[in-house]
């Protein structure tokens, strides 16, 4: 078994060090639950998007824009790359990103930032979510 958090989690770990403490919490919790239930480890897509990406990391970074422009750009790039990539957990990743990240990025104050920092993601949002 190769250690992986799925494409999104792996990208977060490698490119967004600010997510690592939150990822570590989710990983530890999943390992504990798997041990208690005597089951295999489960993919953490939903949990890492809500508990390690959107609320604890992206929201504060977006709210502190433009001071955090570089971090916003990195975070939006990871979202876009994970969304468009062809990978085994693509459907789960896309659904969760749509529900928790892309949906919230449509808020006017965030949408303006996305259009400025990552026009490709803004275009993707238009095609996926409508505008």
Q: For 106-129, what is each residue's pLDDT tens digit?
A: 999 999 999 999 999 999 999 999
The pTM of this model reads 0.92
From first CA to last CA, the distance across the chain in angstroms is: 42
String of DSSP letters for 77-101: HHHHHHHHS--TTHHHHHHHHIIII
Predicted confidence band of residue 2 (pLDDT cuts 50, 70, 90):
low
Degrees to nearest 5, angle at CA 80 with 60 and 75: 25
Cα distance between residue 45 and residue 106, in whole Å: 21
Mean predicted confidence (pLDDT) in 45-57: 86
How do residues 7-20 score in pLDDT, each as one tens digit? 999 999 999 999 99
**Helices vs. strands in the chain: H and E counts, helices first:** 9, 0
Q: Residue 18: count other Cβ atoms within 10 Å of its Cβ.
A: 18
Domain ranges for the chain: 6-129
Predicted confidence band of residue 69 (pLDDT cuts 50, 70, 90):
very high
């Amino acid at each position: 078994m190769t250690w992986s958090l799925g494409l999104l989690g792996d990208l977060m770990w490698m490119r967004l060090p600010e997510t690592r403490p939150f990822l570590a919490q989710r990983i530890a919790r999943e390992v504990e639950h798997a041990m208690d239930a005597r089951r295999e480890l489960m993919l953490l897509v939903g949990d890492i998007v809500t508990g390690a990406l959107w609320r604890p990391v992206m929201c504060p970074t977006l709210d502190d824009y433009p001071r955090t422009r570089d971090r916003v750009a990195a975070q939006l790039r990871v979202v876009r790359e994970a969304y468009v990539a062809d990978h085994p957990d693509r459907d789960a990743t896309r659904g969760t990103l749509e529900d928790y990240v892309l949906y919230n990025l449509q808020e006017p104050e965030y949408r303006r930032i996305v259009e400025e920092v990552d026009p490709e993601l803004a275009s993707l949002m238009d095609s996926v979510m409508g505008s």
